[in-house]
Amino acid sequence: MLNLLGIDNPLELAVIIVGSFILAPVFGMLYRGIDRKLVARMQGRIGPPIIQPFRDIRKLLMKENIIPDGAIQWLFTAAPFIALIASALLLLYIPLFGRGALLGGTGDAILVLYLLIIPSLAFVLGGFASSSPYATVGAQREMVLMMSYEFPLAVVIVTLASRIGLVTNANPFMLATIAANPIWNLVGPLGIVGALILVFTLIVVTIGEAAKVPFDIAEAETEIAGGLLVEYSGRNLSLFYLADIIKAFAMVSLVVALFFPYNLSPLVGIGIPVLAGIVDGLFFLIKVFVVMFLSITLIRTAMARFKISQVSYIYIIAMTLIALVGSILIGIDLLVF
C-alpha cells in the first residue's frame, strides 16, 4: 500500500492524509470567511466574522431537506454527494501544504483537468434534476461556462509541460515534475513575460472555476434567483456549499502547484523535518491566500457580472489568444536564448 503510493514513511503519509482531508477543507472554509470579510471591508462594511461559513453549514445541517415533487429523486439526492466527493478527490492529486500529493504518483495534470470538470458536472446534473426552470437555465449556463474555460486552461498546462519536457526525462505532466522544475528557472526574460501572461490566464480561469463574480452567470442571484441551486435546501445545500469551497481551494492550490511550487525551508535553511514541514505548510497557506485574494476577492469586489454572451467570448476568444501569446513568447524565448 505504502509502496504503491510512493511514500515510504508512515508518518509522512499520516501528515498528508490529515492535510488533504481535514486541514484543506477547514482552511478552505476559513478562506471563504476571510474572503467575505475582505469584500465587506473593501465595500466599507464591517462584514461577517471569518468563521461565518462554519455557522452557515451548521445551520443548513439542521434545516429540513426538501426534495421537490417534480424532481428526479435519485439524481437530485446524488448530485450533492458526487460534487463533494469529486472535489475531495481533487485534493488527493494536487500537492498541498508544501508536500507531495497523496496519489500524486499515479495521476498527472491532465487527470486533474478532468477531475475539475466533475464537480461542475454534478452541479449541472443537480440543476437539471430539480426540474425548476431557473435551475435549468442555470445548468445550461454552467455547461457553457465549463466548455469555455477548458480551452485556455488546457493551453496553459500544455505550454508548461512542453517547456518543462525539454529539460527533464520524467513525465512533464506530473505535478511533481513541474514542482521540481519551476518554469521561472528555465526561461529568459522573454519567457518570464510569457509565463506571467500564463499566470494571468490561469487566474482568470480560476474565477470561472470558482463561479465567482464576474463569471457567476450560473448562479446570478439577481436574475435567475440562485440558478443551479434554486431548489436545494438543508443538508443537500450544505454539501454543495462545502463542495464549492473545497473546489475553489483545490483550484487555487493547482495555480500554486503549477507556477509557485517553491518551499521556504530550503531557502532559509531549516533542516529539522518537523519544523521544515510546519514552515512549508504556513508558506503554502500564504501563497494560496495571495492567489485567492488576487483571483477571487479583489476582482469580485471590483467588477460586475458579465453578460452570458460576453463570458464565452472572453474565455474562448480573448483568454485563449492571450494564453497563446504567452506560449508563443515562451517558444521565442527558447529560440533566442
Does residue 73 belong to the site contacting another protein (CB under 8 A)? no
Does residue 127 belong to the site contacting another protein (CB under 8 A)? no
Cis ω before 214 (30° cut-off from 0): yes
Q: Which of 47, 100, 105, 182 binds another protein (CB under 8 A)?
A: 47
Q: Which of 3, 43, 169, 185 binds another protein (CB under 8 A)?
A: 43
Q: How far is CA 108 from CA 56, 90, 174, 261, in A?
A: 35, 11, 4, 15
Closer by beta carbon to another protein, 41 or else 307 = 41
For 22, residues 6+ apart whose C-beta sits below 8 A from its C-beta are none
**Do residues 74 and 236 make contact, with C-beta atoms less than 8 angstroms apart?**
no
Q: Which of 23, 48, 200, 285 binds another protein (CB under 8 A)?
A: 48
Q: Which of 107, 172, 191, 226 binds another protein (CB under 8 A)?
A: 226
Closer by beta carbon to another protein, 36 or else 99 = 36
Kindly write out the interface string for residues 233-272 of this chain, putting x where it contacts another protein by CB under 8 A and - elsewhere. xx--x-----------------------------------
Minimum CB–partner distance for residue 235 and another protein (Å): 10
d(CA 123, CA 139): 7
| Closest by Cα among 302, 276, 66, 87 to 207 | 302
| Closest by Cα among 292, 289, 304 to 248 | 292
Closer by beta carbon to another protein, 57 or else 170 = 57
Minimum CB–partner distance for residue 210 and another protein (Å): 18
Closer by beta carbon to another protein, 39 or else 308 = 39
Phi, psi of 168 (to 5 degrees): -140, 155
DSSP state of 241: H
Tell me how far the alpha carbon of residue 237 is from its chain's centroid: 20
Closer by beta carbon to another protein, 138 or else 172 = 138
Written as nine digits, the cell of 292 is 485567492
Q: Which of 1, 4, 8, 64 binds another protein (CB under 8 A)?
A: 64
Element of type H or E holding 316:
none
Q: What is the binding site for another protein (CB under 8 A)? A: 36, 40, 43-49, 52, 55-56, 58-59, 61-66, 134, 221-222, 224-226, 229-234, 237
